């Protein structure tokens, strides 16, 4: 989805949903920053040799090697991150407090945002937990700022990977590029489901499994699609067996590409409803409902 289309879509949603205005405005400012930001080159994180790509994909291992981030310096990502902190500061209140805590931490780590982000990404998830605790900044906010800073770099990487991934089968529910779980699923028709990656924004299509995408439960008493807002064609694919859910958008009438950032906001009520039902998002461990695990990366040990 290109820049002008994204901006138009955001403006339409703001008009239609005044109660979400503040969140959309925040996203709009973030869009401005990210549209003005240059990408870093992430291509060295991927071994593009044919045999390696095929081997990884056949074993469900995403293309990006996370430890490789340690070799990158990410200057543009760091610059974008700094600008996002300025947007947070301008928002005042709690956002301002969090922004200054993050800035203090970065200074204590040598002052280079890009280097700190590269280090976080190259380590295991426990490292990010530690950083979040030291900073006293909620982990989901930190992850959000990092992923938005990296967005244009990932979009550039995706352009290269399109040719590599085209035509190769990937029937998993984690992202073939970075390994993160999907933020949303899109029903395209009865035989096709499109997933949108929570972290890098890659999207991929698979044949949906008959049962729960997490544990395979088939019993419709335990696993079902709960539609809360039929007019918005959004719902939860919820499973009582494993306690996970996935937000779904029904687009069988017109399988257009979604903007997952906007859908994330539109689906906030669904996340809250799922939380009240005691469910956690697909791909996230029980002990840390907010923690993003990248199956195949965090689990995979060569
Ligand atoms: Zn991804
Ligand atoms: Zn399940």
153 CA distance to ligand 1 middle (Å): 12
Residue 263 falls inside a structural domain: yes
Q: Which helix (H) or strand (E) holds 191?
A: none
Q: If you search the block for the tokens 């390994």, which residue do you land on?
A: 179
Report pLDDT for 293: 37
> How far is the C-alpha of 52 from the C-alpha of 113, rounded, in Å?
32
222 CA distance to ligand 2 middle (Å): 8
194 CA distance to ligand 2 middle (Å): 19
Residue 196 shares a structural domain with residue 154: no
Cβ atoms 30, 148 nearer than 8 A: yes
244 CA distance to ligand 2 middle (Å): 6
Q: What is the dihedral angle through the alpha carbons of 178, 181, 182, 183, rounded to the nearest 10 degrees?
A: -110
- Within 8 A by CB and 6+ apart from 1, the residues are 9, 257, 259
212 CA distance to ligand 2 middle (Å): 5
3-state SS, residue 16: helix
109-127 burial, b at 16+ Cβ within 10 Å, e below that, comes to: eeebbbbbbbbbbbbebee
Residue 135 shares a structural domain with residue 211: no
Report pLDDT for 251: 73
Write out the DSSP string of 104-150: HHHHHTTS-HHHHHHHHHHS-HHHHHHHHHHHT--HHHHHHHHHHHH
Give me the residues near ligand 2 (ion), CB cutoff below 5 Å: 212, 214-215, 217, 239, 241-242
Q: Which residues of the chain have pLDDT under 50?
A: 286-302
Residue 143 shares a structural domain with residue 206: no
Q: Name the residue among 260, 294, 283 with its Cα closest to residue 177.
A: 294
Report pLDDT for 79: 96
Q: Which helix (H) or strand (E) holds 249?
A: strand 244-250
User: Residue 183 forms beta bridges with which residues?
Assistant: none
Residue 248 falls inside a structural domain: yes
> How far is the C-alpha of 243 from the C-alpha of 278, rounded, in Å?
7
Residue 153 shares a structural domain with residue 112: yes
Q: Which ligand is nearest to the CA of 158?
A: 1
> How far is the C-alpha of 187 from the C-alpha of 254, rounded, in Å?
10
Residue 25 falls inside a structural domain: no
Report pLDDT for 269: 75
Number of domains in the chain: 2
Report pLDDT for 229: 59
Residues 268-301 have pLDDT tens digits of: 778 777 877 888 888 765 444 443 333 333 333 3
290 CA distance to ligand 1 middle (Å): 17
Residues 229-260 have pLDDT tens digits of: 556 678 888 899 989 999 888 877 665 778 88
Report pLDDT for 49: 92
Residue 76 falls inside a structural domain: yes
User: Residue 205 forms beta bridges with which residues?
Assistant: 194
Cβ atoms 153, 76 nearer than 8 A: yes
Domain that holds residue 192: 182-281
Report pLDDT for 183: 87
């Amino acid at each position: 989805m290109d820049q002008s289309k994204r901006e138009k879509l955001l403006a339409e949603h703001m008009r239609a949903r005044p109660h979400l205005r503040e969140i959309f405005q925040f996203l709009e400012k973030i869009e401005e920053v990210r549209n003005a930001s240059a990408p870093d080159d992430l291509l060295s994180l991927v071994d593009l040799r044919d045999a390696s790509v095929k081997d990884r994909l056949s074993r469900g291992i995403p293309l990006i090697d996370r430890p490789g981030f340690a070799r990158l310096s990410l200057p543009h990502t760091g610059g974008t991150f700094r600008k996002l902190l300025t947007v947070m500061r301008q928002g005042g209140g709690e956002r301002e407090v969090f922004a200054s805590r993050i800035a203090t931490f970065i200074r204590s780590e040598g002052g280079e945002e890009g280097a700190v982000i590269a280090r976080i990404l190259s380590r295991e998830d426990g490292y990010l937990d530690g950083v979040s605790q030291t900073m006293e900044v909620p982990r989901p906010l930190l992850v959000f700022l990092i992923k938005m800073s990296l967005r244009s770099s990932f979009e550039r990487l995706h352009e290269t990977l399109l040719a590599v991934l085209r035509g190769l089968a990937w029937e998993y529910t984690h992202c073939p590029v970075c390994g993160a779980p999907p933020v949303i699923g899109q029903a395209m028709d009865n035989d096709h489901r499109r997933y949108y990656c929570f972290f890098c924004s890659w999207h991929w299509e698979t044949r949906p499994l008959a049962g729960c995408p997490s544990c395979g439960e088939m019993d419709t008493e335990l696993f079902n699609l709960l539609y809360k807002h039929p007019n918005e064609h959004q719902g939860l694919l919820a499973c009582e067996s494993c306690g996970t859910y996935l937000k779904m958008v029904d687009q069988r009438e017109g399988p257009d590409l979604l903007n997952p950032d906007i859908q994330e906001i539109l689906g906030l009520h669904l996340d809250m409803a799922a939380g009240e039902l005691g469910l956690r998002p697909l791909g996230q461990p029980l002990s840390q409902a907010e923690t993003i695990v990248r199956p195949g990366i965090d689990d995979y040990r060569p």
